[in-house]
Structure 1
Amino acid sequence: MPNAVARRGRQLWVAPHIWRRRLVFWGGGLCIGVVAVLFAWGADAASHLFQQIVQRWPLAPLLLTPAGLALSAWLTSRFFPMAGGSGIPQAVAARATKVQELRDRLVALPIAAGKMGLTLLALGVGASIGREGPTVQVGAAIMNSIGRRLGDRMPGLLVAGAAAGVAAAFNTPLAGLVFAIEEMGRAFQVRSAHLILSAVLLAGIASLAMQGDYTYFGTTRDVLHGWQDWSLVLVCGLLGGALGGLFSRLIVAFAYGLPGQVGRWFKRYPVLFAAGCGLLVALLGLASGGASYGTGYEQAKAMLDGRGDVSPLFMLTKFGATLLSCITGVPGGFFSPSLAIGAGMGSSIAGLLDSHALGAAALLGMAGYFAGVVQAPITAFVIVLEMTGNHAMAAPVMMASLIGFSVSRMTGAPAVYHALAHRYLPKATEAEKREAAAQ
């Protein structure tokens, strides 16, 4: 028996198909890391360009944002219909479907290229979106393309690509792995776990090689002292779950179409609808002094650092701008904006409770609100801690995340990524019939 085990072990190391599979995961992970970093640099450049325009011409967004979102909506519907929105629902749907034809449409390289270009366009005109969701779809597309060309169709490829996208986008390899299990987990196979982990690590290594070692939001050291500070955990969890659930319900409602004449009008004139939303985004930007534009990274970092130079109205304007940007259907996610909204909520709660733990409150708000939106409490907890390096806040952040998730579920809010993924799955019906008939 020991000899048989040893022979099997040697076969696993020398078998060509095993090495081909490893090279698919390893090469894909490295490619995703490089593309994610280039995408991040492009997103930063687009946001910086828009900020320069606003500084020189403060009223420019009243024209630029509606026109840019209308153009993005038209290009998406005309040339890249599978690139709209976050990108995570497409990756989830691609993982769930058994029809290869549909999977290749959802995570195709041309779609990924369009996704990145149109996300940069939206950021360049002031939309309140993030690049992290699109990076997940891009990662899944890269893995799917490499696997197809090398003749390897393992379901774990898409999981690894999505997880590597999260890891490279935030420099959070642990969060990428947790995301693979919690969000993409129904296809997570134990036998391919080591390959998925290796892809996530290689994507992180590629990101580190290009950007150096860093923590996404820097390192925070705020902790909770006394019952007044600890009450932030409960309040941030409750309010974050309620607001996150509301955001989730609104996103899903608009994605599936509002009832009545208004909903039919929105569906019939998507470009005009995007332009109208863009005008409202611009007005919110003017009302907030420009704080509601873009990803919200700078404002979230300021609140995590305990700086009080962010307006108490930031949370409301950012919530509105993110919702309006997302319901247009243009490519772009709500990962980073959700973290910024949560940070604003936590800081506002700290002010109301007269707490001086401003950075800790922002951290708790991020976890509670994000868990309420995506209903993935473990991912929310891990990614918030990994992006700030504040491990002393592990227990409070975990509690806020769990409370936010529970409140969102109790209010009947859907798990937003999986609810949006179902929009793509009915399209597989005819393809499934053709595939079954061919067999």
Structure 2
Amino acid sequence: MATRSFKQALSLRWRRIWLPRWRRRSLFVVGGIFVGLAAVAMTFMADAAQSAFFQAQKTWPYLPLLVTPTGFAALAWVTSRYFDGAQGSGIPQVIAARQLTDMGAKQKLVSPKLAVAKMFLLTAGLLCGASAGREGPTVQIGASVMFFLGRFAPHRQPGLLLAGAAAGVAAAFNAPLAGIVFGIEEMSRSFELRTSGLVLGTVIVAGLTSLAVLGDYTYFGRSNETLALGAHWFSIPVVGVVCGLAGGGFSRVVIAFAFGLPGKAGRVIKRHPVLFAATCGIIVAICGIMTGGAAFGTSAEQAKAILAGEEVTGLFGPLKLIATMVTTMSGVPGGIFSPSLSVGAGLATLLQGLLGIPIGPLAIMCMAAYLAAVLQAPITAFVIVTEMTGNHALIFPVMICAVIASFVSKAICKEGIYHALAHQLLLKSHSERNMT
């Protein structure tokens, strides 16, 4: 009798406690697999789109003057009309969704519909020359996958969204540490002990899924460059200040346009968003043509060339910054991670003549510093750059550059770009709820 009672108690405990617990944990594993597969699909789609555009642009050098503004206008109209919430990077949407409690409001920012739309809209953007990356969109797609799975564990929604976002970065960059740090520093801005294990598990599964398909690689190749102790270290504050000013200025301009310019200019842009997107497309086309096509797309190949010591046009850095800025302002779906790293590498070519140090270590420092200034997340920036270049010899110079740049950026722009844009989305959501 006692044995039967013990078995019944054990069975009851299994059904009420252990089974639901393992069911919830399995969601993170399944979600990690789907996020990894989505990141792989995005990689193939984005690379194919960029290749097609560059091939066409090589044959007809001035074709972007027609294709890019037309494509921007069409994408702005389609996105706002049918896929509102898919604009831009997608990371602000995930940050805002984590803070919302209403499930209907969350679904306007992260959902399977937006995930699928984001993949095709980003591909279309790269096909017409947008200066955008796939990493931010992969974060929104990852969060959308986990949001969908969250219907099986509604009370774990914030943790699921965080896990999806972190897994998206890890799978997109083949940088698991960067994914974890991004989740802590940028997405949650705190260390959540209760969900840390599940986030780590999702990142591992997503990373392994991507690794199984694409193989082991570093985004910008491997670098063993070092910075000699002594006079070369005096370049570190210069890099931090210059990149901090550039990244802070970028964020401030984008945020100003997102919240709406004052006066007549702001009213015109608000009334004619499609025309504004076409204007942005013209600017991107001009920047691309002036750089021989280098400013289109992610410009990852140009960044790799700079790291390898190859020469690029001196105007690449500033023009890539402008192209990325106006692409972001236009509302065309696309991320700023990869383009920002390319801008940093481009700025290094301008600073080399002044500082007189090898381009390899200088480019790595500038990449981390500029990204840190844009995001105002120095830990995420130097971890990402370190993993993407495979260079650990420069870890201390890169860390110092990132911290200085983030500090300088805050003097120009009070809040990092993702959190400022997330704040705007929250204001919009609250306004819509009050109207209803």
Pair 366,431 (structure 1): closer, same or farther in 2 beyond 3 Å:
same
Q: Distance in 2 between matches of 1:187 and 1:304?
A: 34
The aligned counterpart of 2:205 is 202
- Superposed CA RMSD in Å reads 1.9
CA contact (8 A) 2:163 2:203 kept: yes
User: What do residues 34-72 of structure 1 show as CA deviations (whole Å, max 9, x unaligned)?
Assistant: 111111110000000000001111111110001111110
Match of 1:378 in 2: 379
1:104 Cα shift?
Answer: 1.7
Of 32, 35, 38, the match for 1:32 = 35
Hey, what's the Cα distance between the residues in 1 that align with 2:295 and 2:432? 42
Do the aligned partners of 1:156 and 1:187 also contact (CA within 8 Å) in 2? no
Corresponding residue for residue 329 of structure 2: 327
Q: Using the TM superposition, name which of 34-43 and 229-238 deviates more.
A: 229-238
Q: Residue 130 of structure 1: which of 130, 133, 138 is its match?
A: 133
Taking the aligned partners of 1:285 and 1:215, their CA distance within structure 2 comes to 26
Per-residue deviation at 1:431? 7.5
Query: Which amino acid is the alignment partner of residue 313 of structure 1?
Result: L
Partner of 2:106: 103
Instruction: Go from structure 1 to structure 2 and tell me whether the alpha carbon gap of 1:425 and 1:151 turns closer, same or farther (over 3 Å shift).
Output: closer
Match of residue 4 from structure 1: none
Which deviates more, 228-237 or 297-306?
Answer: 228-237
Q: In the alignment, which residue of structure 2 is the partner of 1:310?
A: 312
Structure 2 residue aligned with 1:229, among 224, 232, 240?
A: 232
> How far apart, in 2, do the equivalents of 1:431 and 1:77 lie?
16
Q: Deviations over 1:159-183 (max 9, x none)?
A: 0000000000000000000001001
- The answer as to whether partners of 2:225 and 2:361 remain within 8 angstroms in 1 is yes
1:61 and 2:64 aligned: yes
Provide the aligned length of Structure 1 versus Structure 2. 425
User: Displacement, 1:189?
Assistant: 2.4
One-letter amino acid matched to 2:332 = V
Residue identity matched to 2:66: L
Distance 1:387 1:104 in 2: 33
Residues of 2 paired with 1:379 and 1:107: CA distance?
23
SS of match in other structure, 1:106: coil
Aligned partner (choices 345, 351, 354) of residue 352 of structure 1: 354
Q: Is the 8 A contact 1:306 1:358 kept in 2?
A: yes
Aligned residue for 1:46? 49
Q: Which residue of 2 aligns with 1:337?
A: 339
Tell me the amino acid that sits aligned with residue 389 of structure 1: G
Identity %, equivalent residues: 50
Match of 1:171 in 2: 174
Are positions 1:76 and 2:79 aligned together?
yes
Residue in 2 that maps onto 1:405: 406
- CA distance in 2 between partners of 1:255 and 1:154 (Å): 28
1:298 alignment counterpart: 301
Query: Where do 5+ consecutive residues of structure 2 fail to align?
Result: 1-9
SS at match of 1:128: coil
In 2, the alpha carbon distance for the partners of 1:187 and 1:360 equals 31
Question: Where does residue 417 of structure 2 map in the other structure?
Answer: 416
Deviation of the 1:234 alpha carbon: 1.3
**Distance in 2 between the 1:289 and 1:83 partners?**
30
The two structures have a TM-score, normalised by structure 1, of 0.93
Runs (4+) of structure 1 exceeding 4 A deviation are 10-14, 149-152, 430-435
Moved more, 84-93 or 153-162: 153-162
Given that 1:280 and 1:324 are in contact with CA atoms closer than 8 Å, whether structure 2 keeps it comes out as yes
How far the C-alpha of 1:151 sits from its partner, in A, is 5.1
Give TM-score scaled by structure 2 length.
Answer: 0.94
Separation in 2 of the partners of 1:417 and 1:95? 13
Could you say what secondary structure the match of 1:391 adopts?
A: coil
> Matched residues in 1 for 2:77 and 2:422: separation?
22
Counterpart in the other structure of 1:368: 369
* C-alpha deviation, 1:150, in angstroms: 5.6
Distance 1:272 1:386 in 2: 40
Q: Is the 8 A contact 1:159 1:188 kept in 2?
A: no
Q: Does 1:266 align with 2:269?
A: yes
| Separation in structure 1 between the aligned mates of residue 355 and residue 327 of structure 2, nearest angstrom | 32
CA contact (8 A) 2:246 2:370 kept: yes
Structure 1 residues 280, 204: closer, same or farther in 2, change over 3 A?
Answer: same
Give secondary structure in 1 for the equivalent of 2:424.
Answer: coil
8 Å CA contact 1:381, 1:397 repeated in 2:
yes
C-alpha contact 1:168 1:207 (8 A) present in aligned 2: yes
The answer to whether the Cα contact below 8 Å between 2:147 and 2:157 also exists between their aligned partners in 1 is: no
Say yes or no: does 1:215 pair with 2:224: no
CA contact (8 A) 1:245 1:411 kept: yes
Residue 114 (structure 1) shift: 1.1
Maintained 8 Å contact 1:232/1:364: no
